[in-house]
Amino acid sequence: MKTIKGPAVFLAQFVDDKAPFNSLDGMCKWASDLGYKGIQIPTWEHFLIDLDKAAESQDYCDELKGKVQSYGLEITELSTHLQGQLVAVHPAYDLMFDNFAPDAVKNNPKARTEWAVDVVKKAATASRRLGIKAHATFSGALLWHTFHPWPQRPPGLVEMGFEELAKRWKPILDHFDKEGVDVCYEIHPGEDLHDGDTFERFLEATGNHPRVNILYDPSHFVLQQLDYIEYIDHYHEFIRSFHVKDSEFNPTGKKGAFGGYNDWGDRAGRYRSLGDGQIDFKTIFSKLTQYGCDVWAVMEWECCIKSPEQGAREGAKFIQDHIIEATEKTFDDFAGGEIDKEMLRKILGQ
């Protein structure tokens, strides 16, 4: 067993043009003052990290790491969720996902993909220079528009889709392997890796690449009505990153899993602040600890009701209260004794 590290916070949803959320120092002090011990850094926010410099300069990485540590914090993971998304984009989503890309590659899907691949590779090198062993990202999606197909999918489409997805990610995964860093795909609706079966399809398509791993976020499974507890039993060996985010699913006679095109507040499935949803975090923390998952518990705020400031304040304590100090002894050790083979034989009646 292993004690989960934390609490930590994903900075992406808190970034703002107002202090303290517009500088690395400001966000570090804010997080530290709330009781967080780690931060997950979104690499598309250039005021938090210059990824080009981080991939090239050990001195820059040492300075960045030192600044974060001066606030009593550690960098848990770097995130390329937005750039990873652009590794694989179906043309139906080109216009909207161009918002995640620099102007130089907009309206040019091939150049955009090449740019995304290069950025995610740089994040691998930067992670190694920062002494980080896990990286958080999205897989992107070539098949998502067919998840509830009409007309029906032609035979071979799914297999071809995962072959292409693996082909795009294989050079990235090889680079991460060279740098000694795990790629943790957030299993998420909208991504081709959105449940257990799709994770297994991708793993197989990559030839069981050793760097293919999971960012576990149970909130997405509630919205899919997937058993998020049993998921840990199936995939604990791949869980190398952990987003602590709550959610709820309250279907009615008018709406269910697909949401009716409603805004988040009016959907049956909604993300909530920690403790306000339906997720059994006690069991989750118990299972992750029991299985020895070496992860940071990283709070992600995406609540449709509560403010981010309150969610962050309450989140640190919520996580701290759920972290289990893994025991190093068995409760009935006091009743044991030295091993005596003769006694064992007698107990067995031999």
- Angle, vertex CA 167, rays to CA 162 and CA 172, nearest 5: 120
At residue 334, the pLDDT reads 61
Write out pLDDT tens, residues 205-264: 999 999 999 999 999 999 999 999 999 999 999 999 999 999 999 999 999 999 999 999
Count up the domains in the chain and report the number: 1
Residue 308: CB atoms within 10 A of its CB come to: 16
122-146: pLDDT as tens digits: 999 999 999 999 999 999 999 999 9
State pTM to two decimals.
0.95
With pLDDT > 70 as the criterion, what percentage of the chain qualifies? Answer: 98
Average pLDDT over residues 93-103: 97
Q: SS3 string of the chain?
A: CCCCEEEEEECHHHCCCCCCCCCHHHHHHHHHHCCCCEEEEECCCCCCCCHHHHHHCHHHHHHHHHHHHCCCCEEEEEEEHHHHHCCCECHHHHHHHHHHCCHHHCCCHHHHHHHHHHHHHHHHHHHHHHCCCEEEECCCECCHHHCCCCCCCCCCHHHHHHHHHHHHHHHHHHHHHHHCCEEEEECCCCCCCCCHHHHHHHHHHCCCCCCEEEEECHHHHHHHCCCHHHHHHHHHHHEEEEEECEEEECCCCCCCCCHHHCCHHHCCEEEECCCCCCCCHHHHHHHHHHCCCCCEEEECCCCCCCCHHHHHHHHHHHHHHHCCCCCCCCCCHHHCCCCCHHHHHHHCCC
What is the pLDDT of the chain when averaged over all its residues? 96
pLDDT on residue 29: 98
Buried b (16+ CB within 10 A) or exposed e, 75-86: bbbbbbbbbbbb
Q: Provide the CATH number for the domain around residue 42.
A: 3.20.20.150
Q: Whole domain around residue 80: which residue ranges? A: 5-347
pLDDT for the residue numbered 339:
81
Q: Express each pLDDT in 325-349 by its tens digit.
A: 998 877 666 656 678 888 889 889 9
**Scanning the structure block, which residue is given the tokens 């009016």?**
266
Q: Report whether pLDDT(276) > 70.
A: yes
